Structure formats: structure tokens, C-alpha cells
């Protein structure tokens, strides 16, 4: 059956069984339950009063599906922030920029994260949940990636030229201190609970908490983002990576 065909009871019709049906091998009919699960997650988000934007609606570039690997049986959630060059704002151009940069810079096959949540609490579909993500260095199998679309690193984080510039601007009062907006916090908390309805999630971590991370991965999701992760982990009873 096609991935996105969902049959209702009224679609069934009566059929005449063959006289010798007991002597013949059974015919196995399978339904792609992964496609159904993807759609069910979208439905649950909307039932919880949140906006869900599918990748086709934010103008995602075509992925390199021939290179992408299937994944399922997710047990871990990794929380990211968009990076130190981002801030709260319209999600669509940010997602398009992130996807373009990741597909170019690290030769990713698509945007690396499965989902994104903007500062207004809207949930966006990134990489199709049926495919293995590319968001945690050498640690993506069984891990759902969720990116919060803003910078959640404090000015002193990083110890590089970016942090120096941010400290200067912060001292001048030109930089707002990062914060997870309440509506985004609520949506992220609800979304974590929704994902646990569909997968046996045992672990919740910030990007840098996963072993073997390098470069920006050592900063992500920033001190502010990590504080959110730790509170969400304590409230949910999930384990650290």
C-alpha cells in the first residue's frame, strides 16, 4: 500500500472466498506504520493547540534521499539551539538558511534536525522522522533531534572571536541576554511528551551532553538551553545521556 493511504472501515468491501482457501498459503498485507506514525505525531501536536508546519510548507530544499538511512525505535531526544548567529525571529528563513548551510558545509543529506520549535511555540518538521538525523556528531542512531530556533548561549561561551564580539556588544548593552520564551518552553515540554507517546524515550539531553562532541557541539544548546533541558529532564524523569 502507498505510504500515505489510510483506509477507513467504509473502504472495505465484501469478497467471495475461494472454495479451497484453506489449502492455500496466507497472503500477508502490510501497512507502512511509520508513515502513519509521522502523521499521528502531526495530528497530536495540533490537538494540543500548537501549530505544526510540515516541511513542504516552509519551502524545504529537496533532500538527498538516495543517501539517507532509515531509522526508528528512537530512545533518545537531543535538544539544540540554532547557533550563536541566530536570534528569535521568523522561522522560515532561519530553517532555510540552516538547511542550506548544513547541506553545504557538512555535506548533510538534508537539514539535520527532525523538528524545530520557534520562539512563538510553533513546531516545524525538519528531516522526515523516518530517516536517521545528522545533528549529533557520530551519535545519531535512535536519537530525535529538536532545535530551538534562537541563540541560547551566553556571551562568554565559546572562548573564540564570536564570544569576544558578543561580550563587547553585551557590555555596550547591544546584546539581549538569551532566554527561552515561556510559550516556546511550554510547546517544547508538550512536544517531548507527545514524542514519548510514540517512542520508548528514555533519555533527554542537550547536544553537548552527548559523548564525543566537537566545535559548536561543545557549546550547543548554550547554557540557557541546557538549563531548560535539565529542568525538563527532572520534570519528565528521563535520564541524561
Q: Which residues pair with 100 in a beta bridge?
A: none
Of the candidates 12, 137, 126, the one whose C-alpha atom is nearest the C-alpha of residue 60 is 126
For the chain, domains (ranges, CATH) are: 22-60+68-236 (3.40.80.10)
What's the whole-model pTM score?
0.81
pLDDT digits (tens, 9 = 90+) for 170-190: 545 556 689 999 999 999 999
Has residue 56 got a pLDDT over 60?
yes
Give the count of beta carbons closer than 10 Å to the beta carbon of residue 203.
18
Share of the chain above pLDDT 70, in %: 79
Task: Give, in degrees to the nearest 5, the angle at Cα 91 between 87 and 97.
Answer: 80
**Mean pLDDT value of segment 130-152:** 97
pLDDT band at 1 (very low <50, low <70, confident <90, very high): very low
What value does the mean pLDDT take over residues 32-55?
95
Confidence of residue 6 (pLDDT cuts 50, 70, 90): very low
Which one, of 196, 187, 199, 208, lies nearest residue 236 by Cα?
196
Residue from 46, 225, 60, 227 nearest 122 by CA: 46
Contacts of 127 (CB under 8 A, 6+ apart): 63, 110, 111, 112, 113, 114, 133, 134, 145
| Confidence bin at 212 (pLDDT 50/70/90) | very high
Binning pLDDT at 50, 70 and 90, where does residue 44 land? very high
Query: Residue 205 pLDDT more than 60?
Result: yes
Grid cell, residue 238, equals 528521563
Amino acid at each position: 500500500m502507498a505510504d500515505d493511504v489510510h483506509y477507513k472501515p467504509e473502504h472495505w468491501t465484501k469478497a467471495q472466498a475461494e472454495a479451497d482457501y484453506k489449502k492455500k498459503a496466507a497472503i500477508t498485507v502490510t501497512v507502512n506504520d511509520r508513515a502513519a506514525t509521522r502523521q499521528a505525531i502531526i495530528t497530536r501536536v495540533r490537538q494540543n493547540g500548537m501549530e505544526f508546519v510540515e516541511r513542504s510548507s516552509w519551502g524545504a530544499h529537496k533532500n538527498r534521499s538516495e543517501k539517507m538511512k532509515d531509522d526508528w525505535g528512537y530512545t533518545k531526544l537531543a535538544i539544540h539551539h540554532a547557533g550563536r548567529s541566530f536570534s528569535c525571529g521568523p522561522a522560515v528563513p532561519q530553517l532555510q538558511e540552516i538547511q542550506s548551510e548544513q547541506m553545504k558545509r557538512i555535506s548533510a543529506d538534508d537539514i539535520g534536525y527532525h523538528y524545530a520549535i520557534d520562539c512563538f511555540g510553533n513546531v516545524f518538521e525538519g528531516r522526515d522522522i523516518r530517516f536517521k538525523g545528522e545533528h549529533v556528531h557520530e551519535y545519531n542512531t535512535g536519537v530525535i533531534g529538536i532545535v530551538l530556533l534562537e541563540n541560547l548561549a551566553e556571551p562568554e561561551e565559546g572562548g573564540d572571536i564570536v564570544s569576544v564580539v558578543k561580550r563587547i556588544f553585551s557590555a555596550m548593552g547591544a546584546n539581549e541576554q538569551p532566554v527561552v520564551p515561556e510559550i516556546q518552553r511550554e510547546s517544547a515540554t508538550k512536544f517531548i511528551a507527545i514524542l514519548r507517546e510514540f517512542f520508548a524515550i528514555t533519555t533527554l539531553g542537550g547536544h553537548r551532553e552527548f559523548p564525543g562532541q566537537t566545535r559548536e557541539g561543545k557549546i550547543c544548546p548554550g547554557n540557557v538551553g541546557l538549563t531548560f533541558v535539565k529542568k525538563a529532564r527532572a520534570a519528565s524523569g528521563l535520564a541524561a545521556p
